C-alpha cells in the first residue's frame, strides 16, 4: 500500500503572522510525522505551481489578478479574515498545484492514495473572492483537473471541516457530475450549508449538506458518515474521492464547538477509505483545510495517514473531551436529510 504526501517549504512562506491559520500548523504536522517515523512509510510527491489556465477553470481572471497584486504590493488583507503576504501568491499556486500533483500521483499509479499538506487552504474561496483564510479553491480546481486532464466523469468531494465549504459548493451547485458532501457546524461561519441547499438545475441533488449542532462527537460523526455519506456515495458511483480535511472539529480546537477526538477522525477516514476501495479502486486524495490546535491537527493528520497505510493502532494522546455534557440528538436531522435525498 503506497501512500503519498505533498509538502514543501514554500507553504511556510505564506506569512500570516499570529493569525490562527499560520505556518506552525504545518510545522507541527511535519515534526510529528518525522518524530513518529511515519514519514519514512510515505512516498514524497514534489508539488508544482498551478498554471493560470488551471486556476481559470474555477476562478475569474480578476480574482487571480487581485491576489497576485496583493502579494506584489508586499501584502494586503483581501477580506476581514484573509491575508496575502509577499510570498502568498506563489504559495497559493503551489498549494493548488500540490493537490494537482497528488491527483496525478494517484491516477498515474505512483501511489494508492495521497494527502496534500498544503497552505493556504481553499474551500471558502469562490470564483470571484478570497475569504475564510482561503485564496484559491484547491479542491475545486483539482476536481475540474481530474475531469479535464484525466478524463474522469464523476468526482465525489467530501468535506469534514467544521466550516461548510461555501466556495466548493458554489463551484459545483449546478453540476451533476461533482457531488459535494459536507458535514459542518451550523449555524456557523460562513452561514451556508443548510439541508435544503441541494444544488440547482442539472445539479439538483448533487449537493448534500449535514448541518450539525454544536457538541457532536465521535458517535454522531460515525452515524453521519455511515447513514448519509455511504448510501449517497454508492448511488453516485464516483471515479475518485477528494477530501477537504479540516481538523477543527476536534474538541480542543479554539475556533469551534465540536467534540470529535483523534480516534473519531480515524473512524471517519476509515469509512471514506472503505468507500473508495469499494467504488473507485481506492482512488482517494486528501487536502488540508482547517484545524488550529497544533497538537490536535498533527495527531489528526497522523491518524489519517495511519488509516491510509492500514496501520491498526491510532495514537490519540489527547483522548476524549475533557469536559462533560450530553451530545445532542441528531435523529431528526438525519431523518430530514434522508427524506430530502431519498435515502
Contact between 29 and 135 under an 8 Å Cβ cutoff? The reply is no
Find the catalytic residue in 14, 123, 124, 163. 124
| Total residue count of the chain as it appears in this document | 343
Distance between CA atoms of 90 and 50, rounded to whole angstroms? 10
Three-state secondary structure call for residue 214: coil
The three-state secondary structure class of 5 is strand
β-pairing verdict for 75-77 and 83-85: antiparallel
Q: What is the C-alpha to C-alpha distance for residues 150 and 172, in angstroms, rounded to an integer?
A: 18
Q: How far apart are CA 116 and CA 97, in angstroms?
A: 10
pLDDT value of residue 44: 98
CATH classification at residue 100? 3.40.800.20
pLDDT at 286: 99
What's the confidence (pLDDT) of residue 103? 98
In whole angstroms, what is the distance from residue 23 CA to residue 5 CA? 17
The number of domains in the chain is 1
User: If we measure between CA atoms, which residue out of 175, 163, 115 comes closest to residue 139?
Assistant: 115
Residue range(s) defining the domain that contains residue 61:
3-340
Per-residue confidence (pLDDT) for residue 20, from 0 to 100: 95
Instruction: Give the per-residue pLDDT at 2.
Output: 98
Whether 124 is catalytic: yes
Predicted pLDDT of residue 340: 98
Chunked mean pLDDT (size 10), the chain, 343 residues:
97 96 98 98 98 98 98 96 97 98 98 98 98 98 98 98 98 98 98 98 98 97 98 98 98 95 98 98 98 98 98 95 87 98 98
Q: Judge contact between 183 and 224, C-beta under 8 A.
A: yes
Residue 142: predicted pLDDT: 99
Q: What is residue 182's predicted lDDT score, i.e. its pLDDT? A: 99
Q: How far apart are alpha carbons 163 and 193 in whole angstroms?
A: 9
Q: Are 60 and 154 in contact (CB under 8 A)?
A: no
CB–CB of 295/318 below 8 Å? Answer: yes
Distance CA 217, CA 261 (A): 7
Amino acid at each position: 500500500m503506497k501512500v503519498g504526501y505533498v509538502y514543501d517549504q514554500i507553504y511556510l512562506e505564506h506569512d500570516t503572522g499570529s493569525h490562527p491559520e499560520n505556518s506552525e500548523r504545518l510545522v507541527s504536522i511535519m515534526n510529528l510525522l518525522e518524530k513518529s517515523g511515519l514519514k519514512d512509510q510515505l512516498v514524497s510527491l514534489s508539488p508544482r505551481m498551478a498554471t493560470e489556465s488551471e486556476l481559470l477553470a474555477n476562478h475569474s481572471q480578476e480574482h487571480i489578478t487581485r491576489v497576485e497584486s496583493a502579494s506584489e504590493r508586499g501584502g494586503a488583507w483581501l477580506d476581514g479574515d484573509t491575508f496575502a503576504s509577499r510570498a502568498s501568491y506563489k504559495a497559493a499556486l503551489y498549494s493548488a498545484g500540490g493537490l494537482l500533483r497528488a491527483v496525478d500521483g494517484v491516477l498515474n499509479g505512483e501511489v494508492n492514495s495521497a494527502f496534500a499538506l498544503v497552505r493556504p487552504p481553499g474551500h471558502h474561496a469562490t470564483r470571484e473572492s478570497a475569504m475564510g483564510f482561503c485564496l484559491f479553491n484547491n479542491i475545486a480546481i483539482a476536481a475540474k483537473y481530474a475531469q479535464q486532464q484525466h478524463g474522469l466523469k464523476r468526482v465525489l468531494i467530501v468535506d469534514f471541516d467544521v466550516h461548510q465549504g461555501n466556495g466548493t459548493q458554489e463551484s459545483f451547485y449546478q453540476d451533476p457530475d461533482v457531488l459535494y458532501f459536507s458535514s459542518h457546524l451550523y449555524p456557523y461561519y460562513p452561514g451556508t450549508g443548510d439541508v435544503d441547499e441541494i444544488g440547482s438545475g442539472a445539479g439538483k441533488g448533487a449537493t448534500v449538506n449535514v448541518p450539525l449542532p454544536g457538541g457532536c462527537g465521535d458517535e454522531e460523526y460515525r452515524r453521519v458518515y455511515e447513514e448519509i455519506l455511504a448510501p449517497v456515495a454508492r448511488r453516485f458511483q464516483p471515479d475518485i474521492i477528494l477530501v477537504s480535511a479540516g481538523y477543527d472539529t476536534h474538541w480542543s480546537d479554539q475556533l469551534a464547538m465540536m467534540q470529535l477526538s483523534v480516534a473519531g477522525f480515524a473512524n471517519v477516514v476509515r469509512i471514506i477509505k472503505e468507500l473508495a476501495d469499494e467504488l473507485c479502486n481506492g482512488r482517494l486524495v486528501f487536502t488540508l483545510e482547517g484545524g488550529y490546535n497544533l497538537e490536535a491537527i498533527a495527531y489528526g493528520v497522523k491518524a489519517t495517514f495511519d488509516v491510509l497505510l492500514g496501520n491498526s493502532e491510532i495514537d490519540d494522546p489527547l483522548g476524549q473531551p475533557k469536559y462533560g455534557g450530553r451530545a445532542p440528538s441528531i435523529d431528526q436531522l438525519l431523518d430530514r436529510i434522508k427524506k430530502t435525498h431519498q435515502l
